[in-house]
Structure 1
Amino acid sequence: MSDGISRFEDVTDVVANGGRDRDGNARTLGRWTFEYEPARDLVESLLEGRVLNACAGKTKLNHDGEIVRNDLNPERDADTHHNVERIAEHFGPQSFDTVVFDPPFDDTQADDKYDGIHAKNIYAALEDFEELVRPNGRVITFGWNSWGMKSFAAFEREATYLLQRGPVLRDVIVTVDRRTTGTLATDGAGRYVGAETDRGDSR
């Protein structure tokens, strides 16, 4: 029986700041998350199947499968420039195995580093990812909190990582949520295009 006490979430790993990249440059976690080598190495190790990099930014991730790069800024080198709050309108249901979500973490960061160009409704974006991710797929979220896909019963927490930034700066929190059940998705005519499945089910 629950005692009403909120339990601290287990942290899978802590990535300490500092040191140098392979090219000799000092490591710093700044404006472009995946320019920071430990963050890039971490996210690339988690990519599976067809990938949506929903807020792609500057850095191109390495992966042996397809990566669709989306960025709201029309001047950014990306495959699409959709508002992530409505991104499911532009792709078929359950059309990605992995979604990477690395938006500006708050309005101040967006105004300071991204010319104020960012999604206003993060929850709307998460709702769209729930529609886009296939059974057994992942959503990898970067931000100041560890919520990730906890609002959606189809997802279970697989891992939580902390990217440390130093003694007086907040850690960046990375959550990895795995879709363990499917949904009955419909196409525009109301026809079912998916079926209820459990993790590991090949149907």
Structure 2
Amino acid sequence: MFLKKRTARGNQYWSLTESYRENGKIKHRTVKNLGNTANAIKELESNEEYKPFLVQIKKQTSSGATETKIERFWHMADSNTFNIKPFARLLQEEMTDGIWIDPFANMNKLATITNDLNPEMPTDFHMDALEFLKMFQDASVDGVLYDPPYSPRQVSECYKGHGIEVTKETTQSSWWRKHKDEIARILKPGGMVFCFGWNSQGVGKKRGMDLKRVMIVAHGAHHNDTICTVEIKAI
């Protein structure tokens, strides 16, 4: 069980939420609505079992803003990012209900609508990621799982592996930038995006995102760390 916050018209509302699996997908359900901050504190103070959540609320509201949570773990490298246990735990804790999309899903089925360029993957679509993202209307999705190739070399290998021509455009930073522009466009206000890669840039504040969490997973030896940012689109 964990504490969930939403903001509406400048006010913060809280609930106790738990995660569960249904048909292989992670979903959340509300255990108890706590109301606004004042009511939530009063409710939590009256129940000894909920005292840890009381500490969390007071910590988040004492400075008037939520500080970005930064964590670092070690885990063996895995070609399927979502199989890395700290990331799997992060997804379970943070993913909300609603429509989630994954433009680079591979074998993963966490999102509501999935895509992968590889026609052998069990996804809903097999499109170029940019074209997939362009299918969605403005402010129409609740969350995005964004785990693309991390470097120009990886992009090149991915395209060549499926017989697609590699151009200058597909090996420049604009390749990722265009994806992030689309993600910012299609996310609903209050929507969430998980960005995985070798840096913590995420979608970014300039595109209207607030950074909630950063998780760094070291793999040891010659491997680069894998980094995940969790961002929320400002309301």
Corresponding residue for 1:98?
Answer: 143
- Quickly say closer, same or farther: Cα 1:88–1:126, change in 2 above 3 A: same
Following TM superposition, by how much is the alpha carbon of 1:113 offset from its aligned partner in structure 2, in angstroms? 7.1
Cα-to-partner distance string for 1:113-141 (whole Å, 9 max, x where unaligned)? 78645993111100110111000011110
- 8 Å Cα contact 1:87/1:128 also seen in 2: no
- Quickly say closer, same or farther: Cα 1:172–1:108, change in 2 above 3 A: same
Corresponding residue for 1:59?
Answer: 108
Q: Which structure is higher in strand share?
A: 2
Say which of 113, 119, 133 aligns to 1:74: 119
2:88 pairs with 1:30: no
Q: Distance in 2 between matches of 1:42 and 1:72?
A: 26
Q: Distance in 2 between matches of 1:151 and 1:83?
A: 26
- Quickly say closer, same or farther: Cα 1:36–1:114, change in 2 above 3 A: farther
- 8 Å Cα contact 2:103/2:133 also seen in 1: no
- 8 Å Cα contact 2:115/2:132 also seen in 1: no
- Quickly say closer, same or farther: Cα 1:115–1:33, change in 2 above 3 A: farther
Corresponding residue for 1:40?
Answer: 88
TM-score by length of 1: 0.68
Corresponding residue for 1:16?
Answer: 74
Structure 2 counterpart of 1:100, one-letter code: L
Stretches of structure 2 lacking an aligned partner (at least 5 in a row): 1-67
- Larger Rg, first or second structure (1 or 2): 2
Corresponding residue for 2:222?
Answer: 168
For residues 174-185 of structure 1, what are the structure 2 equivalents within 5 Å? 174-181=228-235
Corresponding residue for 2:185?
Answer: 131
Cα-to-partner distance string for 1:59-114 (whole Å, 9 max, x where unaligned)? 323xxxx6111112222110112322233431222111110100111133345678
Stretches of structure 1 lacking an aligned partner (at least 5 in a row): 1-9, 18-27, 182-203
SS at match of 1:170: coil
- 8 Å Cα contact 1:130/1:152 also seen in 2: no
TM-score by length of 2: 0.60
Q: Distance in 1 between matches of 2:80 and 2:160?
A: 14
Following TM superposition, by how much is the alpha carbon of 1:174 offset from its aligned partner in structure 2, in angstroms? 0.5
- Quickly say closer, same or farther: Cα 1:116–1:42, change in 2 above 3 A: farther
- Quickly say closer, same or farther: Cα 1:44–1:110, change in 2 above 3 A: farther
Cα-to-partner distance string for 1:26-69 (whole Å, 9 max, x where unaligned)? xx3221112223322222322112111121012323xxxx6111
Identity %: 25
